[in-house]
Amino acid sequence: MEELPEQVDFNIHVKPILSDNCFSCHGPDEAAREAGMRLDLPDAAYAATKESGKIPISPGKLNQSEVFHRIISEDPDFQMPTPESHLTLTNRQKAILIKWIESGANYQPHWAFISPKMPVLPEAKIRDWSTAPIDLFIGKKLVEHGFEPSPSASKELLLRRLSLDVTGLPPSLEELDAFLADDSENAYEKQVDRLLGSPHYGEQMAMFWMDLSRFADTHGYTVDRFRDMSPWRDWVIEAYNQNMPYDQFIIEQLAGDQLPNPTKKQKLATAFNRIHPQNMEGGIVQEEFRVQYVADRTNTLGKAFMALSLECARCHDHKFDPVSQKEYFQLSSFFNQVDEAGQISWDNAMPVPTMLWTDDKKDELLKLLKNDISTAEVTLDNIKIVEEADFEAWISSEGYKNIRFYKPTKSLIAHFDFNKVPLRDRINPTVKGVMESTGEASKQAELVDGYQGKAASLNGDAWLKMGGVGSFSKDQPFSVGIWVNIPANLENGVIFHTGNGAVLFNRRGYHLYLRDNRLEMILAHTAPYNVISNHTLEDIPRDEWVHLLMTYDGSSKAKGIKTYSNGKLMASKMSRDNLYKDILFDGDKQPGIQVGAVWRGRGLKGAAVDELTIFNKELTSLEILEWLQPELLAKVVKKSAKDLSGEERKTLEVFYWNNLSPKYQNQLKKLEAARREHSVAVEPVQEVMVMDDMDPGRTTYILERGEYAAHGEEVDKNTPVSILPMPEDYPKNRLGLARWLVNDEHPLTARVAVNRLWQQFFGRGLVATSSDFGNQGEMPSHPELLDWLAVTFRASGWDVKMMQKMMLMSATYRQSSLTGKELKEKDGDNIWLARGPSGRMPGEMIRDNALYASNMLGKALGGPSVKPYQPDGLWSVNGGQYVEDTGENLFRRSLYTLWKRSVPNPTLHIFDAPERSEATIKRQETNTPLQALVLMNDPIYVEIAKVMGMQIATEQDTSKAIQDAFRKLTGRFPKENELALLLKLREVELKKFKEAPEKMDGWLNKGAYPIKEKPDRYQWAANTVVASAILNADATITKR
């Protein structure tokens, strides 16, 4: 048995044993706790249990400690862990627990939940080695473990390592030669500064953040359709290039919209919490998936910023870490307020909430057009002032008594009386109405006795499709009226709408619903956010004929919607007022009005409808009365001017301006035209998903077992007390949560951030489990260094580039990665850092390295995702068709490769790129035959070899040209035997191609990259094989 430590440390030696073997039954999770025994807290462990009266752990008193008796017992009914758990303590683990109890069973708080303090710098332990703070901490551990640091890496390999780590791209030959020739003391520092200042730095940092943020270009799940969120990726690149402080980086992504007077980019930043997978599949439960999106944000918060497995507390108290289920849902409440749908639209509408993503030129245009609308509205109001005397004269002369001559028939564009089948529009008899239902052929409507003549009977499943009439844009005024007879037992259903059943879930169009016996009026681009809606405040009469009429003024404002019952304006309340895109579908997807039901929705079962009328203007109250009940209008117009009530006078005034004032009517047309011009300008503008909370917010509940419908206790927004109580003066919203994360006392955020930066350069974090700093995670290899880095990071103002420069300038980073047999055996994972970092590059860097070395890499920074080469047919698994790009887009940086969650790009995925369905903090690293096949046969690598072969063939000195190609790809000069092998390979391949010219075709006849110089074909093909060999070399795909 390995020798026991001289002093048993709880965090280092004891807690890993308890966490792995005991906490699942005797830890934080109260519901799972067995026998009332809790071992994660000292007070509980030292106290007698209620069930047995025995003390789990009695400090210094082994025989009085129940844990001692249980772990040494061989009785399967008594021993712990139980045989059923399939967990077993080794003799050494038992001995450690026994020694710990004997020495006082001293507990310590979990290291990661204690706020880091600035440690004292160690004394220099290694002669003639760096005394920079990082190297002092590393040197101390090297000495303790009997290691010495390795010498510095060669200048050429060091520059390649640095360039790849900072920009993701290799150095050019010119940069390599300049560095080799620079003998100044700060030669290396100059390179660090140059690379940190490169625009490619932001691209490299963004690659890691895309993994962490689960960024993809598709929604995920089975359907997995496309969405363009590239503006957010561009924001990330820009934020890194501008060295945005990390605390601000967090705040803007979690709560940029809640900052005072947020900028457009700060709102865009919140897309971080919207780029998770979203479901558009038919048949799912809306609320189930909305709750899943909230959980995703909560889990990502834990993993990305605190390295905690919060998801383990969704169904029950965390079994290992002090986070209760209640605290989980208190955290989730911060993300439960988003005005979103669980089931997103079946078309290409961006899931709401969204913002319009415009450039400066478009902003200026939209501002100008909005000013035009405002000017037109002011002019309209001024006409009333100027012509007030004319109106007063009309009233005093009782001109309104001739109002019966102004029926609204000239604006009537459709009228269905339902008196006989087939249903025909009385305005245009060629337009017919039919009854339709899901999965069935159209049929004639069933007629019953109606309000006047016959009416259409409704069964709740089928709807009346009225021949394509009744479509309006959001800037067009309209009115729709209908007589309905609704049974008393029906509380909900759709009365009429212009939705499209084939384009599910977004409720685009205008709609009149029966909701809990009242009316809801909606105009929507994409529900529930890009919408205006009102609901009435009184019930609708039942089992009698009622005329309902919805009017809209074209303003895109909720106040522009009115509803009348039997000609009387109904009191209503605004629900949402946020319509900024049109309510029409694209092209031939636009349906006309439908009555009585909606596909996959609730209809008016048992109701009847009669006299559907559609007008292309907003009817006034008097026009409605004249149309419906002239006798009521007659009572008004018979009155003398002095007998008119205030309400009657106001009604007459509205009618006057809309019908009898030519100037007002002309100006109204100008206002409608201005609104239309603005709508036309807005419609093609890209929408991007952002965060925006509802007002009032949602109530959050503990969900039993995490089930969306199993509501338990109601909870308020709050943070886990064991990590850091939320300061009372912080707002209880996402902004307060973000500030809590970057609070100076927060124990995790700074540590997690610097650990991830360390992992990026060294391949392994100081905490190896970089996604788990909890009790199941590993202890830091260098705890004092981790705390020094975290405190320094905070004190610097969260300066990311400063922290990275400190790491990159350290002697630890600059060590050679070469290792001897003894060092490899003693520290194969390089935990103690006696050598420099080394490892296979990610798939993106392998591809970009090759493209850059061949001078094929596209130069553009940012922009939409691109579709480079990939095998045919991969997307057919879920109905997609991959149309690869052309030109430079085929050769852009891999960061911009379109990321389809269900079918990731194989060139990258085979080299361990994740699907990005959840946050990935560290990619797995595999070594498979498929990777070699990709490098040898993937079209992009064959084409790169072809281009480099051409470059070699056009040089006079073939040996030097091959040497240069080798340097471009590996960063170093080839060894003498390596160059000899490559020249020999060229000779063999040249002979082969001359003997069998057709074999050149596979190398030279493919690829879209333009070749300006076409050398001798035999030479070209042979050189291409040589370039391919270098591309496949370990030195090419490994960072050393």
Are residues 836 and 150 in contact, defined by beta-carbon separation less than 8 angstroms?
A: yes
pLDDT value, residue 292 = 98
- Provide DSSP, 550-615: EEE-SSSSGGGEEEEETTEEPPEEEEEE---S-SPPSGGG----EES--TTS---TT-EEEEEEEE
CA torsion 682-688-693-699 (nearest 10°) is 120
Mean pLDDT of all residues in 426-445: 82
pLDDT value, residue 193 = 99
In whole angstroms, give the CA distance from residue 916 to residue 885: 23
In whole angstroms, give the CA distance from residue 1023 to residue 982: 9
Mean pLDDT of all residues in 939-946: 98
Strand partners, 608: 457, 485
Neighbouring C-beta atoms of residue 639, cutoff 10 Å: 14
Q: 743-753 pLDDT, tens per residue?
A: 999 999 999 99
At 1014, list the tokens.
């076409």
Give this prediction's pTM. 0.93
Are residues 316 and 24 in contact, defined by beta-carbon separation less than 8 angstroms?
A: no
Mean pLDDT of all residues in 340-364: 93
- Provide DSSP, 873-914: TGGGGGT-------GGGGGS-GGGB---SSS--HHHHTTT--
In whole angstroms, give the CA distance from residue 753 to residue 790: 8
In whole angstroms, give the CA distance from residue 227 to residue 310: 28
Among the ranges given (69-83, 130-144, 244-258), the one the predictor scored with the smallest mean pLDDT = 69-83
pLDDT value, residue 51 = 85
Does the structure show a pLDDT above 70 at 505?
A: no
pLDDT band at 29 (very low <50, low <70, confident <90, very high): confident
Neighbouring C-beta atoms of residue 755, cutoff 10 Å: 25
At 717, list the tokens.
């927004």
In whole angstroms, give the CA distance from residue 524 to residue 578: 9
Are residues 615 and 412 in contact, defined by beta-carbon separation less than 8 angstroms?
A: yes
DSSP H or E stretch at residue 524: strand 518-526
Are residues 548 and 482 in contact, defined by beta-carbon separation less than 8 angstroms?
A: yes
- Provide DSSP, 303-343: IIII---GGGGSSSS-SSSS--HHHHHHHHGGGTTB---SB
- Provide DSSP, 16-79: HHHHHHTHHHHSS-TTT--TT---SSHHHHHSPPTTT---S--TT-GGG-HHHHHHH---TTT-
In whole angstroms, give the CA distance from residue 417 to residue 142: 92
How many angstroms separate the Cα of 323 from the Cα of each of 27, 721, 873, 904? 11, 8, 46, 35
In whole angstroms, give the CA distance from residue 359 to residue 862: 14
At 177, list the tokens.
């030669």
pLDDT value, residue 70 = 92
Coil, helix or strand at residue 485: strand
pLDDT value, residue 89 = 93
Q: 568-598 pLDDT, tens per residue?
A: 999 999 999 999 999 999 888 899 999 999 8
Phi, psi of 951 (to 5 degrees): -65, -40
pLDDT value, residue 433 = 87
Longest CA pairwise span in the chain (Å) = 113
Domains (range + CATH), the chain = 10-108 (no CATH), 415-642 (2.60.120.200), 937-1039 (no CATH)
pLDDT band at 953 (very low <50, low <70, confident <90, very high): very high
Residues of the chain above pLDDT 70, percent: 99
Mean pLDDT of all residues in 99-125: 93
Higher pLDDT, 479 or 16: 479
Phi, psi of 610 (to 5 degrees): -150, 155
Are residues 482 and 593 in contact, defined by beta-carbon separation less than 8 angstroms?
A: no
Are residues 789 and 754 in contact, defined by beta-carbon separation less than 8 angstroms?
A: yes
In whole angstroms, give the CA distance from residue 760 to residue 8: 33
Q: Write out the E strands in 372-477.
A: 412-416, 423-424, 432-437, 440-443, 447-449, 454-457, 463-465
pLDDT value, residue 1034 = 97
Nearest to 804 by CA among 759, 768, 835: 759
In whole angstroms, give the CA distance from residue 569 to residue 654: 14
Does the structure show a pLDDT above 90 at 346?
A: no
Instruction: Give the pairing type, strands 1038-1039 and 839-840.
Output: antiparallel
Mean pLDDT of all residues in 161-187: 98
pLDDT band at 704 (very low <50, low <70, confident <90, very high): very high
Are residues 702 and 696 in contact, defined by beta-carbon separation less than 8 angstroms?
A: no
pLDDT value, residue 141 = 95
Neighbouring C-beta atoms of residue 694, cutoff 10 Å: 15
Mean pLDDT of all residues in 320-326: 94
Instruction: Give the pairing type, strands 530-536 and 572-577.
Output: antiparallel
DSSP character at residue 531: E
Mean pLDDT of all residues in 43-69: 91
Nearest to 158 by CA among 631, 811, 939, 985: 811
Radius of gyration of the chain (CA): 36
In whole angstroms, give the CA distance from residue 850 to residue 936: 13
Higher pLDDT, 605 or 409: 605
pLDDT value, residue 405 = 58
Identity (one letter) of the amino acid at 888?
Answer: E
pLDDT value, residue 504 = 64
DSSP character at residue 831: S
Distance from first CA to last CA of the chain, Å, rounded? Answer: 37
pLDDT value, residue 1 = 64
In whole angstroms, give the CA distance from residue 479 to residue 554: 11
pLDDT band at 435 (very low <50, low <70, confident <90, very high): confident
Among the ranges given (91-95, 501-505, 868-872, 931-935), the one the predictor scored with the smallest mean pLDDT = 501-505
pLDDT band at 334 (very low <50, low <70, confident <90, very high): very high
Does the structure show a pLDDT above 70 at 376?
A: yes
Indicate the average pLDDT of the chain.
94
pLDDT value, residue 439 = 61
Q: 786-828 pLDDT, tens per residue?
A: 999 999 999 999 999 999 999 999 999 999 999 888 888 999 9
- Provide DSSP, 85-104: GT----HHHHHHHHHHHHTT
Residues of the chain above pLDDT 90, percent: 82
Coil, helix or strand at residue 370: helix
Q: Provide CB contacts within 8 A for 796, sequence distance 6+.
A: 802, 803
Q: 986-1040 pLDDT, tens per residue?
A: 999 999 999 999 999 999 998 999 998 889 999 999 999 999 999 999 999 999 9
